[in-house]
Structures are given as structure tokens and as C-alpha cells.
Amino acid sequence: MGVINTKLKIRNPLRTEPPVEITAKVDTAATMLVLPEDLADSLGLTNIRTQTVKYANEETAERRIAGMVELEVCGRKGWFEAILEPKKTYALLGAVVMESLDLIVEPASLGLYPNPRSKLPMAEVE
């Protein structure tokens, strides 16, 4: 499968400023939302903890976690925590956001879309 990029609108829900649009790489193997640290700082996002993160190359690092970030993608909106990366210039959209907003990846068109089976984000529960 190729690289999938999408546009996100993010904002600090504790402020009145309008959302900022940023490009995000869609990564079904990633867990969380990742944002450039300088963007998070400019939005005034609150640091809630530090956490050890593991990269695809098996390296680890301590990173700040911000919360809550209001995010809109594919016309669906939610509040999420985000890992803050000091050297990133783009966002990374992981599985937590995709599952919460009931989004699906379409490999043939390299697109990210709302699940056509649901009119609203849907959570499967037992």
C-alpha cells in the first residue's frame, strides 16, 4: 500500500481561535495522533504527561503528551491526546483516531473515508 495523506483541522478546545489545517500521514500501524511540537505549543495545548514512545526502527524516546486536541477529519470530529514530536513538520494519524471516528483506509484510491456502513462514528461494543 502507498502513502496516504489527508488534511486535519486541529484546535485547542480551551481557546476561541479557529482551527488550523495541517497535512497528516495516515498510518494504520501507528497507535496515537502525533503533532509537531511547535504547532502544539503555538496552539497552547496542555501537557498532561510524558511517555516513552517506540519508533518503527525500534528506538525509544521520552515525549510530551498533550491533551485534549480537537480534531476534525473527513467531516468527523473528536477530542484526542497527541504525542508531540520536536522535529515533525506534519501530523501522523494513528489507529486510535481512525477507530474512534469510524474511518476506513481505501488502499486502491489511497484515501481515508468515513465508514459507509455508519452515518455517525460507530463504536462496536460487546
Query: What is the sign of the dihedral through the CA atoms of 14, 19, 22 and 24?
Result: positive
pLDDT of residue 3: 81
| Cell numbers found for residue 7 | 488534511
* Domain of residue 9, CATH code: 2.40.70.10
Residue 27 lies in a domain: yes
Residue 126 lies in a domain: no
| Cell numbers found for residue 88 | 515533525
> Cα separation of 30 and 75, whole Å?
22
Residue 25 lies in a domain: yes
pLDDT by residue, tens only, the chain of 126 residues = 568 999 999 999 999 999 999 999 999 889 999 999 999 999 999 999 999 999 989 999 999 999 899 999 999 999 999 999 999 999 999 999 999 999 999 888 889 999 888 776 666 677
> Cα separation of 116 and 111, whole Å?
13
Look at the pTM and tell me if it is higher than 0.85: yes
Query: What is the CA angle 41-23-70, rounded to 5?
Result: 55
pLDDT of residue 122: 61
Residue 96 lies in a domain: yes
Residue 68 lies in a domain: yes
Other C-beta atoms closer than 10 Å to the C-beta of 105 total 17
Closest CA to 73 of 31, 39, 33, 42: 33
pLDDT of residue 28: 87
Residue 99 lies in a domain: yes
Domain span holding position 72: 4-114
pLDDT of residue 101: 92
pLDDT of residue 37: 96
Q: For the chain, how many structural domains are there in total?
A: 1
pLDDT of residue 95: 93
User: 107-124 burial by CB neighbour count: b if 16+ within 10 A, else e?
Assistant: eeeeebebbeeeeeeeee
Residue 28 lies in a domain: yes
Residue 37 lies in a domain: yes
